[in-house]
């Protein structure tokens, strides 16, 4: 039973499933407390034992977001931290030698979005595999309004040249992912889309 301040941990389950769908079988799950020193110790062990490390949560700017500091302390070369996108703005990426370190946001939808848009292409390149996801244009069936300033990755349902934005787009909700087969990509400088507009679509792996 959840206690006050606790949440169900779903990210390791969904990311493990997504990794297995990519063909990766050797998956290790580590758990760290909200403590900078303990986190650094777990991260150091993970980097020694693996080629790619996915950290989940702790990448924003809250009182218990220690991932970026721990990574830098261990000599990780930060390539970027934070992207003008929604969901998944706090994404972190760095390298140490030939190791890849991704810091994924803790919200489930943000985490999975960043996996498909950033982690999966990197893994496919490492494994010399053709991309599973395709990028196409499709016709939007409904209006969707957004503010200028962030690229939006909307969970969508694509069918025969048309695409529909799904409900429940919030970063903490996974229900729309259970129905989605694509992302609708609305650029940073756009105000959204209207029904009938041509929009960019990133098809999710089957």
CATH for 135-203 (3.40.50.620, 2.40.340.10, 2.60.120.380, 2.60.40.740): 2.40.340.10
pLDDT the model gives residue 19: 97
Report how far residue 110's alpha carbon sits from residue 15's, in angstroms, rounded to the nearest whole number: 12
Report how far residue 36's alpha carbon sits from residue 45's, in angstroms, rounded to the nearest whole number: 14
Answer yes or no: same fold for 11-126 and 135-203.
Answer: no
- Count CB atoms within 10 A of the CB of residue 129: 12
For the chain, 206 residues long, give each residue's pLDDT as a single digit of tens. 888 878 888 999 999 999 999 999 899 999 998 899 999 999 999 999 999 999 999 999 888 899 999 999 999 999 999 999 999 999 999 999 999 999 999 999 999 999 999 999 999 999 999 998 899 999 999 999 999 999 999 999 999 999 999 999 999 888 899 999 999 999 999 999 999 999 999 999 98
The CATH architecture to which 11-126 belongs is 3-Layer(aba) Sandwich (3.40)
Cis peptide before 87 (omega within 30 of 0): yes
Report how far residue 184's alpha carbon sits from residue 163's, in angstroms, rounded to the nearest whole number: 8
pLDDT the model gives residue 2: 84
| Domain locations in the chain as residue ranges | 11-126, 135-203
With a CB cutoff of 8 Å and minimum separation 6, the contacts of 146 are 152, 186, 190, 191, 192
pLDDT the model gives residue 42: 98
With a CB cutoff of 8 Å and minimum separation 6, the contacts of 144 are 154, 165, 184, 186, 192, 193
pLDDT the model gives residue 8: 83
Is the distance from CB of 41 to CB of 47 less than 8 angstroms? no
pTM, two decimal places: 0.94
Closest-CA residue to 117 (of 96, 89, 138, 137): 89
pLDDT the model gives residue 7: 82
pLDDT the model gives residue 61: 84
């Amino acid at each position: 039973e959840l206690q006050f301040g606790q949440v169900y941990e779903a990210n390791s389950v969904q990311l493990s499933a997504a990794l297995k769908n990519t063909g990766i079988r050797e998956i290790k799950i580590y758990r760290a407390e909200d403590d900078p020193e303990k986190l650094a110790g777990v991260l150091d062990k993970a980097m020694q034992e693996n080629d790619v490390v996915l950290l989940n949560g702790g990448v924003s700017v809250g009182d218990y977001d220690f991932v970026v500091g721990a990574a830098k302390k261990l000599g990780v070369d930060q390539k970027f931290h934070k992207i003008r996108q929604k969901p998944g703005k706090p994404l972190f990426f760095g390298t140490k030698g030939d190791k890849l370190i991704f810091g994924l946001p803790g919200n489930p939808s943000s985490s999975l979005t960043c996996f498909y848009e950033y982690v999966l292409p990197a893994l496919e390149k490492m494994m010399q595999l053709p991309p599973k996801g395709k990028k196409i244009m499709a016709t939007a069936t409904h209006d969707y309004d957004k503010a200028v300033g962030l690229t939006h990755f909307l969970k969508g349902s694509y069918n025969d040249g048309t695409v529909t934005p799904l409900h429940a787009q919030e970063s903490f909700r996974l229900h729309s992912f259970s129905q989605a087969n694509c992302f609708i990509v609305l650029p940073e400088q756009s105000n959204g889309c209207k029904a009938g507009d041509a929009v960019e679509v990133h098809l999710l792996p089957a």
